[in-house]
């Protein structure tokens, strides 16, 4: 993607040149090695679904959707439903990008697409680069849990029947002696992470249902950090946590970003996003309508898209004003 030499690009002053690559940059945005950590371009995700309208048409004797006598019995008419369309998004090294959108608007599908987790009936198109490499489905699958890690929303994402320690450690790789060595390495890494996040060693012996909210949050984070990923995708990590816990969670993401990682924070809570993120990608109707720095939220004049401005007006400190068409988030 980059025409310029990498070093020259790294030297770009984001303060003086805030808008390039179709998005505004924050002061912390770094093009490490001259590229984005994650670039998503023109992503669309659609599903093949049974078409009830065509079926009804056919039942009424309309032959337009017909495939002939035999086909009628063997094929139900299907249509493609696009859930994410021409979405573009970038995550730089050292920054948190908050993907803000209403609950149920398909944000999790974006996470699935970046993780290469697709439903069998999903059609995914677009281009994804991770750490400067163009990715296909197999490459994304290879980075799952290694280069790109997911922090899920709740303890429901842990196996209820397996002790927390073993789950954080994950499945050892290899065979025989190599497998035992890997298991030992993983145990050591898990101990180190538990110590860093203030989890007692006994927690490893607990089952998920025995964890408190605060412990669960840190356990999920430790799962994600096991293989030292470069990018963390946090899917709604804060709902269900009280404010101090939510702030602690966000502080941990901040620390990860400050150490040179990238975080894609998927959330419906724009207020919380503005307190911790460097940039905000506003998600609506299956696409990112505006990708801008948090600083731009200082005034509606620096926001480009009408929907983002509506969001701004709907914030509590701006008086909860709900303007014209389209409902604000939450």
The contact set with other proteins (CB under 8 A) reads 115, 117, 120, 141, 144-146, 149-150, 152, 154, 156-162, 170-171, 198, 200, 202-203, 205-207, 209-210, 212, 214-215, 223, 226-227
- Residue pair 91/129 in contact (Cβ under 8 Å)? The answer is no
* Residue nearer to other proteins on the CB measure, 117 or 295: 117
Determine the 3-state secondary structure of 157 from DSSP: helix
- Cα distance between residue 330 and residue 137, in whole Å: 33
Question: CB 28 → other proteins: shortest distance, Å?
Answer: 26
| Rounded to 5°, angle at Cα 36 from 35 and 37 | 115
What sign does the dihedral 260-20-44-307 (CA atoms) show? positive
* Residue nearer to other proteins on the CB measure, 23 or 230: 230
Question: CB 98 → other proteins: shortest distance, Å?
Answer: 20
Contacts for 312 with CB less than 8 Å, ≥ 6 apart: 297, 300, 303, 318
Question: CB 214 → other proteins: shortest distance, Å?
Answer: 5
- Residue pair 88/42 in contact (Cβ under 8 Å)? The answer is yes
* Residue nearer to other proteins on the CB measure, 100 or 219: 219
- Cα distance between residue 12 and residue 20, in whole Å: 10
- Residue pair 177/185 in contact (Cβ under 8 Å)? The answer is no
* Residue nearer to other proteins on the CB measure, 118 or 129: 118
Strands (E), 196-315: 231-235, 262-267, 279-284, 287-293
Question: CB 240 → other proteins: shortest distance, Å?
Answer: 14
* Residue nearer to other proteins on the CB measure, 126 or 214: 214
| Closest-CA residue to 37 (of 166, 131, 111, 108) | 131
* Residue nearer to other proteins on the CB measure, 59 or 161: 161
| Closest-CA residue to 38 (of 106, 87, 4) | 87
- Cα distance between residue 181 and residue 73, in whole Å: 56
Question: CB 184 → other proteins: shortest distance, Å?
Answer: 18
Question: CB 312 → other proteins: shortest distance, Å?
Answer: 33
* Residue nearer to other proteins on the CB measure, 54 or 141: 141
| Residue 309, both tokens | 């401005």
Question: CB 186 → other proteins: shortest distance, Å?
Answer: 12
* Residue nearer to other proteins on the CB measure, 194 or 297: 194
- Cα distance between residue 233 and residue 224, in whole Å: 9
Question: CB 90 → other proteins: shortest distance, Å?
Answer: 21
3-state helix, strand, coil in the chain (%, to 5): 40, 25, 35
- Cα distance between residue 288 and residue 281, in whole Å: 6
Determine the 3-state secondary structure of 241 from DSSP: coil
* Residue nearer to other proteins on the CB measure, 24 or 153: 153
Question: CB 4 → other proteins: shortest distance, Å?
Answer: 34
């Amino acid at each position: 993607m980059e025409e310029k030499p990498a070093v020259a690009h790294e030297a770009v002053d984001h303060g003086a040149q805030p808008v390039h690559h179709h998005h505004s940059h924050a002061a912390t945005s770094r093009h490490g090695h001259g590229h984005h950590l994650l670039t998503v371009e023109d992503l669309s995700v659609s599903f093949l679904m049974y078409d009830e309208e065509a079926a009804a048409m056919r039942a009424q004797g309309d032959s337009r959707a017909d495939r002939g006598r035999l086909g009628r019995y063997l094929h139900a008419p299907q249509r493609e439903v696009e859930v994410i369309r021409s979405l573009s998004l970038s995550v730089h090294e050292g920054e948190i990008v908050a993907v803000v959108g209403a609950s149920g608007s398909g944000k999790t599908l974006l996470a699935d697409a970046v993780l290469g987790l697709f439903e069998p009936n999903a059609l995914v198109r677009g281009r994804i680069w991770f750490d400067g490499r163009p990715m296909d489905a197999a490459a994304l699958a290879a980075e799952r849990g290694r280069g790109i890690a997911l922090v899920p929303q709740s303890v429901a994402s842990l196996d209820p029947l397996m002790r927390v320690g073993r789950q954080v450690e994950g499945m050892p790789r290899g065979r025989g002696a190599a497998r035992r060595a890997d298991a030992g390495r993983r145990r050591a890494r898990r101990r180190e992470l538990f110590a860093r996040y203030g989890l007692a060693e006994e927690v490893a012996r607990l089952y998920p249902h025995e964890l408190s909210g605060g412990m669960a949050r840190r356990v999920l984070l430790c799962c994600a950090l096991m293989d030292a990923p470069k990018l963390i995708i946090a899917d709604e990590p804060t709902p269900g946590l009280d404010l101090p816990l939510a702030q602690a969670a966000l502080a941990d993401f901040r620390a990860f970003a400050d150490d040179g990682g990238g975080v894609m924070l998927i959330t419906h809570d724009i207020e919380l996003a503005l307190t911790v993120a460097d940039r905000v990608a506003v998600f609506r109707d299956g696409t990112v309508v505006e990708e801008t720095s948090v600083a731009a939220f200082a005034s509606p004049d620096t926001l480009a898209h009408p929907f983002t401005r509506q969001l701004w007006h709907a914030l509590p400190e701006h008086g909860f004003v709900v303007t014209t068409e389209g409902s604000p988030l939450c």
